[in-house]
């Protein structure tokens, strides 16, 4: 089943799951795709189409059962368990990632950190101690790390990715501004604020474009 | 013209421009959509279609003139000028954003920073001094800030966005895990690593899905 689902759909599901959790907190038990769409700022048609990949949810005119749909989406996404993270690079960015309070409540635990700089190795950052990057591959295997996070400069990123993959990691979140080459079966996501800013200056340059297009695609999430 | 261009296309252009810059540095003068596609890990057809929104580039079988196309894309995206940024929230994340070395070379200058915490106001962070958030709207107007960056907790993000917009900002990059409501004509992009991680656990949970889909959409950039 999973292989037939467009990746862009998979990328939207986490936001659906989170938004349903917010509605649950607010005591909402049933919700229409219209109401969900307003909160998510996407069209109800897109929500219905995205969900249709995973089965039939809700009845025409009755809306979705919030708790049920949220549970199903969490199951589909594998959010019922904890995932371990290793951060490579503990400069400003790596430290901010390790200190970020948003991971743990969602089941993502930073369990190891690495750097090549001897001045940083041994440093306590949150609940981890920075280890030498030469130990990366071995530690990843021993601790069965699920996801690698790259917070090193662009020039070092590909080598770190290669070592992560050699260490058995199948998912990488990279903050380095470079397109990584990875073998089949390994997932990479890149968070690159410069590219994000550059996709907004297009609209700042010609404000009428922003005004005309904003009704269609406001508040896109990356 | 700009209003007819899908936002997803605009979001890909910065990566095209950057990749062309790398080819220029490598001394490549002409490039085919196939070669560009290999580097970008997207299909040549998508590149050709995306570029077709902006006119005719390259001749069938001849490829693109790298310098020309890069210049045109930079012009389209408004990258020939400098854009000013204000960062609100100077905790770990805000400090990492201000310290990030990738903005300035691309023409993005952090010129102001704000926080509500009296202990942080007055603190020097890189080349800026944190100001009290109560001054945000006024400073944004006086300094004609182009883009606001939100690095505060989710619970405070909407209020900061509202104040930014009141201060004349038309583009916001938010690191807060919440969907912001903004008026027409204001662009918002959200960088949310939890959602990104959650879109990968889907594939970790069922590795065969990653293997089967990775040929289509490897190394997606967010």
Asked if A39 reaches chain B (Cβ–Cβ under 8 Å), the answer is yes
Helices (H), A78-217: 92-99, 136-142, 154-166, 193-205, 207-213
**How far apart are the C-alpha atoms of A35 and A30, rounded to whole Å?**
10
CA distance linking residue B131 with residue A95, whole number of Å: 23
The answer to whether residues A149 and A84 touch, using CB atoms and an 8 Å cutoff, is no
Instruction: Say which of B95, B192, B219 has its CB closest to residue A221.
Output: B192
Is A207 part of the contact surface with chain B (CB cutoff 8 Å)?
Answer: yes
Q: Do A213 and B3 touch (CB under 8 A)?
A: yes
Query: Comparing B98 with B217, which gets the higher pLDDT?
Result: B98
Whether residues A102 and B77 touch (CB distance < 8 A) is answered with no
The reported pLDDT for the residue numbered A109 is: 97
- Closest alpha carbon within chain A to B219: A188
Helices vs. strands in chain A: H and E counts, helices first: 9, 9
**Vertex A171 angle, CA B23 and A75, to 5°:** 135
What tens digit of pLDDT does each residue of A167-195 get? 999 999 999 999 899 999 999 999 999 99
Give B186's contacts in chain A (Cβ within 8 Å): 210, 214
> Which residues of chain B have a CB within 8 Å of the CB of A78?
201-202, 204-205
CA distance A144 to A219: 36
Q: What is the DSSP letter of A17?
A: H
Q: What is the ipTM of this complex?
A: 0.89
Determine, for residues A204 and B170 on separate chains, whether the beta-carbon distance falls below 8 Å.
yes
Q: State the Cα–Cα distance between residues A148 and B59, nearest whole angstrom.
A: 42
B2 pLDDT exceeds 60?
Answer: no
Instruction: Give the pLDDT confidence of B113-172 residue by residue, as tens digits.
Output: 999 999 999 999 989 999 999 999 999 999 999 999 999 999 999 999 999 999 999 999
Residue A132 has pLDDT above 50, yes or no: yes
Chain A nearest CA to B163, separation (Å):
17
- The answer to whether B50 faces chain A, any CB pair under 8 Å, is no
Tell me what pLDDT residue A8 has.
Answer: 86
Confidence of residue A166 (pLDDT cuts 50, 70, 90): very high
**Which DSSP category does A110 fall into?**
E
For residue A42, pLDDT over 60 is answered with yes
The pair of structure tokens assigned to A18 is 């989170």
CA within 13 Å, CB half, A141: 8
pLDDT at A158: 98
- Confidence at A218, pLDDT banded by 50, 70, 90: very low
Alpha carbon separation from B65 to A82, A154, B29, B78 (Å, rounded):
49, 26, 6, 20
User: Which of B15, B92, B201 is the closest to A78 by Cβ?
Assistant: B201
Q: What is the mean pLDDT of chain A?
A: 89
Encode pLDDT of B23-43 as tens digits. 999 999 999 989 999 888 889
How many angstroms separate the CA atoms of B208 and A1, rounded? 10
Q: Do A187 and B203 touch (CB under 8 A)?
A: yes
A179 and B146 within 8 Å at the Cβ level: the answer is no
Hey, are the CB atoms on A18 and B177 less than 8 Å from each other? Answer: yes
Distance CA A160, CA B100 (A): 20
pTM over 0.90: no
- Choose from A5, A16, A74, A92 for mutation: most chain B CBs within 10 A: A92
| Structure tokens, B218 | 């490897």
Q: Reply yes or no on whether the pLDDT at B87 is more than 90.
A: yes
Question: Across chain B, what does the average pLDDT equal?
Answer: 89
By CA distance, what is B40's nearest residue in A? A179
Q: Exposure string (b/e) for B114-141, b if CB count within 10 Å is 16 or more?
A: bbeeeebbeeebbebebbebeebbebbe
């Amino acid at each position: 089943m999973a292989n037939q689902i467009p990746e862009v759909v998979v990328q939207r599901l986490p936001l659906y799951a989170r938004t349903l959790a917010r509605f649950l907190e607010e005591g909402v038990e049933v919700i229409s795709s219209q109401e969900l769409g307003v909160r998510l700022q996407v069209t109800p048609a897109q929500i219905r189409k995205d969900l249709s990949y995973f089965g039939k949810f809700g009845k025409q005119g009755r809306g979705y059962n919030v708790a049920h749909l949220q549970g199903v989406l969490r199951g589909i996404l594998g959010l019922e368990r904890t995932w371990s993270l290793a951060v490579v690079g503990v400069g400003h960015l790596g430290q901010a990632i390790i200190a970020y309070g948003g991971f743990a409540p969602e089941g993502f635990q930073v369990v190891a950190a690495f750097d090549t700089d001897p001045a940083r190795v041994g440093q306590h950052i949150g609940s981890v101690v920075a280890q030498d990057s030469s130990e990366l591959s071995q530690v990843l295997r021993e601790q069965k790390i699920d996801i690698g996070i790259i917070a090193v400069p662009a020039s070092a990123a590909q080598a770190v990715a290669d070592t992560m993959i050699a260490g058995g990691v199948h998912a990488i979140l990279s903050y380095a501004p470079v397109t990584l080459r990875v073998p089949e079966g390994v997932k990479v996501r890149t968070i690159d604020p410069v590219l994000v800013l550059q996709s907004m200056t297009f609209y700042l340059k010609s404000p009428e474009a922003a005004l005309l297009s904003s009704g269609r695609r406001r508040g896109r999430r990356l």
